[in-house]
Amino acid sequence: MDINNSVALVTGANRGLGHAFAKRLLERGARKVYATARRPETVDLPGVEVLPLDIADAASVRAAAEAASDVSLLVNNAGIQTGTDLVTGSLAAVRHELETNVLGHLGMIREFAPTLARNGGGAIVNVLSAMSWFGVRGANAYHLTKAAAWAMTNGVRLELAEQGTLVTAVHLGLADTDMSAGWPVDKIAPSDLADAALDGVEAGSAEVLADQWSRDVKSRLPLKPEEFNATMERALAALTAV
């Protein structure tokens, strides 16, 4: 797929990675970029077409699909992190993360799949995380949702292959956004993450490992669980000790 002259829709485009995606799409020649947010008045990027969208609200998703019937590239970026554990944390918070990070993305795909088919197949980018593959105390609900979103992405890729829709999973460690401001560690620049993802789409890639952290974590998956967990504990300790 060629980003140039594409019509893209980016969720959560008012800040962070979503803002970077929308900006880089314009700079790379997208013909139109729909920038969506729950509060559309917070989108401040010239050149985009702003739409209100709450991905956890089915009616809002349906309205966005009706308004953006020319989309050829869907970037599922919007998500939340509540800092909740699975056993002792709020079950309502766990459900909220699942409804947003998994079912919200799936709802977008279900609504936009027919649009993409009519427009030649196109592509879907699902912004995931290296935490698709490991948990950490204080954020295990997020781990659960990203693991589930990874599985969902793999499933819809199979289901949409016949209509010619590319589904690209993008994994990263930390990006230099407001959400990670309290972590004094190396982070990928949002624009670099967006470029890596869009390069992957143009190359027809099913998966993009956008930084060294995500590449390192995935390389450890063949380890036995106890070996994997011990290795991740050492890696996280080294990361936070920097």
Which residues are tagged catalytic?
142
242: which 2 tokens?
């920097």
Distance CA 210, CA 193 (A): 6
Q: Go through 53-74 and write b for each residue having 16 or more CB atoms within 10 A of its CB, e for each that does not.
A: bbbbbeebbeebbebbeebbbb
Distance CA 135, CA 140 (A): 5
| E strand or H helix that includes residue 235 | helix 225-241
Distance CA 153, CA 105 (A): 9
| E strand or H helix that includes residue 105 | helix 105-118
